[in-house]
Structure 1
Amino acid sequence: MNTVADILAARPAKIESLPPTATVREALQRMAEREIGSVLIMQGDALLGIFTERDYARKIALKGLSSTDALLADVMTARLYVVGPRQTVQECLGIMTQGKLRHLPVVEGGQVIGLISIGDLVNAQLAQQRFLIEQMESYIRG
């Protein structure tokens, strides 16, 4: 698994999203049900932002706001980093490190085709390392 496309191909293609008019509570409920750390904020096919556990902690919990009343449009992260399916795991890890991110929307031709997490990238990198070790062990054994 060297590219984002490889990661996306290895798992279900379901994209979790909510409209900007949804409440933070709706987002938290969805995230808890799906055991995920973020949801994309979309209006139709348009990607507007992302809402993450970090957004909740910093923009709702610490400010004493109500997750029942707060709308995603008011607390989502709108300044997005996005990647394409041909980008490498290493490139994405660099983007995440530089931007202090845990999730990257994947966009192709202006359409959202997936979402990858830091966990996806670490798992892909570990799989690549295991493959290389197996190849070297096989070569050594002859």
Structure 2
Amino acid sequence: MTTVADILSNRKGAKLAALPPTATVREALQLMAEREVGSVLLMQGDSLLGIFTERDYARKIALKGLSSIDTLLADVMTSRLYVVSPRQTVQECLGLMTQGKLRHLPVVDGGQVLGLVSIGDLVNAQLAEQRFLIQQMESYIAGTMS
């Protein structure tokens, strides 16, 4: 079974998209656009305080007519976080995302933030695992397995 650690290890050199809570929504949007991601973690030093997502922008800024230029992330971040460990499986994470209606999960181990997995990361990992199993079954049926 594929784990969160497997997904993170395939992203060698990927830098975490994170900002302090004193950054503005506009700064978060710029960082998300530059990195082509849908969320930014809110960090104070090594401490994970929250997350700001495209959904937060739509619901807490755009619909309320707030300005992204002067609204601080601390005022609109999601602070009730679901986090996962690197040992959790793709299926466990997808279940958590479905239950919590989430699209992003911070990965934390021993209080240290290791990364972030998105629903796209998890679906891609699950599809790769299924393709591998299908290939193994096809090889077995065709009698080409050693």
Shift in Å, 1:92: 0.1
CA distance in 1, matches of 2:97, 2:15: 22
What does residue range 126-141 of structure 1 map to in structure 2 within 5 Å?
A: 126-141=127-142
Runs of 5+ unmatched residues, structure 1: none
- 1:104 match: secondary structure: strand
Matched, 1:10 2:10: yes
Listed one character per residue, the Cα deviations across residues 16-59 of structure 1 (whole Å, up to 9, x for unaligned) are: 10000000000000001111000000000000000000000000
Runs of 5+ unmatched residues, structure 2: none
Q: Using structure 1 for the length normalisation, give the TM-score.
A: 0.98
CA distance in 1, matches of 2:15, 2:115: 8
- 2:139 match: secondary structure: helix
- 1:125 match: secondary structure: helix
Q: Which residue of 2 aligns with 1:28?
A: 29
Identical residues among aligned pairs (%): 85
Listed one character per residue, the Cα deviations across residues 78-107 of structure 1 (whole Å, up to 9, x for unaligned) are: 000000000000000000000000000000
- 1:70 match: secondary structure: coil
Structure 1 stretches of 4+ moved >3 Å: none
Q: Using structure 2 for the length normalisation, give the TM-score.
A: 0.96
Q: Which residue of 1 aligns with 2:85?
A: 84
Matched, 1:72 2:77: no
- 1:115 match: secondary structure: strand
Alignment: residue pair count: 142
